[in-house]
């Protein structure tokens, strides 16, 4: 179902969504295209004319109402997400809690959208900056975090006073429908939040070519992001892009190796490696490489793979047969080029798209896995000798989203935080995502930030006003 202007809409076309863990049908969804998107834009535009007049306090109340709905229905939302995209149920429930965290934070910030008073160059003048909602915004989201990726866009947009239409990923529309059932019950005015689903290209075209849409926010692959940036040029539409990553994880010889292993397990195998901040390259300093590799291979044995609906599962399937093929291809290429498999290295569990948690050693920069984003449970180990060398190798990529570094040397922490060309650095810390922090990348990993005050400013336009006293000096 699509949710446009406060009501659910059916269309003539329907699609079945299948569970990647077992191939079973999860449910059906109606598909829309250009017309439905245009209707959603019109609804969001009409709603904006009133919504823009609301106070931060009023908008905060809607966000809190949504928090309460998500809290009440978190189990049902999480179950839908697990069935649609495979992650363990406990992780899906945690994702709802993360979404709630973002909603609460932005509900609080909605009341703190301040302007500025600037010192004038002429005493007869008063110089002001006010921040106004940008208008109708459009969001395109991926399947790997089918709840929190929507909320990370929706929460600051609502807090800022914008309206929004959202296109979820083709594999996870039913989770988005569950979310919109909560939005409906939370009582948002009609047209403030709209859900369109269906033909991605047609929806994306309408979102970028309709001049009423003032901003596009996208999370997905760099290739699609680049296309959308091109399309957004037509009306000089503002864009936020959260694109691919190829996170290095650097382990120096003075690091706490057990902590580093636990952090690699978390950043590499959570969500079966299908996150844009997943560790993609593990750089271990020569003198500790052997012991680290042994510890990692042992820890990987404890990862329980299976259907996310079963209890105690640590890792579910990959999202699709294409995703599985990509991982197989990367591993095969690495082995052909001289890498060796320390753990895993094969798919399991047909008809689900399962791949064993895999560790590769002896990986070099020439292999495909060193440059192509993996999006799978494969941990390639590279060996380095000096700090200077590892900085150069870690930065030698067109991506720049997240990087991780483990060391106990304080001076090195300071050097590394400045030298790594990434938007986010986890320094002895694998768990970097919090609502108050700006999430985003440099280079081809994106434009703009989500989360924190920066994430709110993405939905606000600054207006500068110079007021001159007509006769009297101030
Ligand atoms: P992934 O490989 O993670 O699926 P994509 O970048 O292909 O990443 O997809 C992310 C989101 O972008 C999804 O919602 C998808 O439907 C959407 N998308 C893909 N191609 C286009 C396009 N040409 N225009 C607009 N949206 C698109």
pLDDT tens digit string along 249-262?
999 999 999 999 99
Query: Is residue 147 a contact partner of residue 121, using CB atoms and an 8 Å limit?
Result: no
Pick the more confident residue, 351 or 375: 375
d(CA 70, CA 64): 10
Nearby residues of 382 by Cβ (< 8 Å), 6 or more positions away: 281, 282, 283, 284, 363, 364, 365, 370, 393
| Distance from C-alpha of 250 to C-alpha of 252, rounded to nearest angstrom | 6
The rounded Å distance from CA 332 to ligand 1 centre is 27
Q: What is the pLDDT of residues 195-224, one digit of tens each?
A: 999 999 999 999 999 999 999 999 999 999
State the closest ligand 1 atom to the C-alpha of 167, by its place in the atom list counted from 1.
14
**Residue 242 known to be catalytic:** yes
CA–centroid distance, 32 to ligand 1, in Å, is 15
CA–centroid distance, 297 to ligand 1, in Å, is 34
In which band, very low, low, confident or very high, does the pLDDT at 231 lie, cut at 50, 70 and 90? very high
- In this prediction, residue 472 has a pLDDT band, given cuts at 50, 70 and 90, of low
Name the helix (H) or strand (E) containing 242.
strand 238-242
The answer to whether the CB of 140 is under 6 A from ligand 1 is yes
142 lines ligand 1 (CB under 6 A): yes
Q: If you write DSSP's letter for every residue of 102-135 in order, what string do you get?
A: HHHHHHHHGGG---EEEPPSSTTEEEEEEEEE--
Q: How far apart are CA 69 and CA 84, in angstroms?
A: 21
| Cα–Cα distance list, 346 to 357, 377, 378, 454 (Å) | 9, 11, 10, 42
Which pLDDT belongs to residue 349?
Answer: 73
Q: What is the pLDDT of residue 319?
A: 98
Give the tens place of pLDDT for each residue, 424-460. 999 999 999 999 999 999 999 999 999 999 999 999 9
Catalytic residue among 162, 182, 276, 405: 276
Closest residue to atom 9 of ligand 1, CA basis: 220
Write out pLDDT tens, residues 33-47: 999 999 999 999 999
Average predicted confidence (pLDDT) for the chain:
97
Residue with tokens 């009023």: 58
| Residue 100 to residue 69: CA distance in whole angstroms | 10
> What is the pTM assigned to this prediction?
0.97
Yes or no: say if 82 and 316 are a contact pair by the CB < 8 Å rule: yes
Cα torsion 82, 96, 262, 274: sign? positive
Confidence (pLDDT) at 473: 58
Task: Give the integer Cα–Cα distance in Å for 64 and 333.
Answer: 50
For residues 362 and 347, give the distance between their C-alpha atoms in angstroms, rounded to a whole number: 21
Give the model's pLDDT for residue 271.
Answer: 98
Evaluate if residue 474 carries a pLDDT over 60: no
pLDDT of residue 351: 85
Residue in the structure block whose two tokens are 């049908």? 25
169 Cβ inside 6 Å of ligand 1: yes
The catalytically annotated residue of 79, 242, 444, 450 is: 242
Which whole number is the average pLDDT over 176-192? Answer: 98
- Angular region, 371: left φ>0, alpha ψ -120 to 50, beta rest: alpha
pLDDT, tens only, 274-325: 999 999 999 999 999 999 999 999 999 999 999 999 999 999 999 999 999 9
């Amino acid at each position: 179902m699509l949710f446009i202007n406060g009501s659910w809409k059916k269309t003539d076309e329907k699609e079945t969504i299948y569970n990647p863990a077992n191939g079973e049908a999860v449910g059906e969804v109606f598909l829309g295209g250009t017309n439905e998107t245009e209707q959603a834009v019109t609804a969001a535009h009409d709603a904006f004319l009133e919504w823009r007049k609301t106070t931060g306090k009023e908008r905060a109340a809607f966000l809190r109402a949504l928090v309460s709905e998500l809290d009440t229905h978190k189990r049902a939302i999480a179950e839908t997400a697990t069935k649609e995209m495979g992650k363990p149920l406990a992780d899906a429930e945690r994702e709802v809690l993360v979404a709630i965290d973002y909603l609460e934070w932005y509900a609080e910030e909605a009341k703190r959208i301040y302007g500025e008073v600037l010192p004038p160059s002429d005493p007869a003048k008063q110089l002001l900056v006010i921040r106004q909602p940008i208008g109708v915004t459009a969001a395109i989201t991926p399947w790997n975090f089918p709840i929190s990726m929507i909320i990370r866009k929706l929460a600051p947009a609502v807090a800022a006073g914008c309206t929004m239409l959202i296109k979820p990923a083709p594999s996870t529309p039913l989770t988005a429908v569950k979310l919109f059932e909560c939005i409906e019950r939370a009582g948002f005015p009609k047209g403030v939040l709209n859900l369109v689903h269906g033909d991605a290209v047609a929806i994306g075209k309408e979102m970028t070519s309709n001049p009423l849409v003032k901003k596009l926010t996208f999370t997905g692959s760099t290739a699609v992001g680049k296309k959308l940036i091109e399309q957004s040029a037509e009306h000089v539409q503002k864009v936020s892009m959260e694109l691919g990553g190829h996170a290095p994880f650097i382990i120096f010889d003075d690091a706490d190796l057990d902590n580093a292993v636990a952090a690699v397990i978390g950043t590499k195998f959570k969500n079966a490696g299908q996150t844009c901040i997943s560790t993609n390259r593990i750089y271990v300093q020569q003198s500790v490489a052997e012991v680290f590799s042994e510890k990692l291979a042992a820890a990987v044995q404890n990862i329980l793979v299976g259907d996310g609906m079963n209890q105690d599962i640590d890792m579910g399937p990959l999202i699709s047969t294409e995703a599985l093929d990509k991982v197989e291809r990367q591993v095969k290429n690495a082995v052909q080029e001289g890498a060796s498999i320390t753990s895993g290295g094969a798919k399991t569990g047909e008809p689900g798209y399962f791949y064993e948690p895999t560790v590769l050693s002896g990986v070099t920069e020439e292999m495909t896995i060193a440059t192509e984003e993996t999006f799978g449970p494969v941990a390639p180990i590279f060996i380095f000798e000096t700090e200077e060398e590892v900085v150069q190798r870690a930065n030698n990529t067109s991506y720049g989203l997240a990087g991780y570094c483990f060391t106990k040397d304080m001076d090195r922490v300071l050097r590394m935080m400045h030298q790594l060309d990434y938007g986010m650095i986890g320094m002895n810390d694998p768990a970097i995502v919090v609502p108050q922090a700006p999430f985003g990348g440099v280079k081809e990993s994106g434009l703009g930030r989500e989360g924190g005050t920066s994430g709110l400013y993405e939905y606000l336009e600054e207006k500068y006003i110079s007021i001159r006293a007509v006769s009297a000096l101030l």
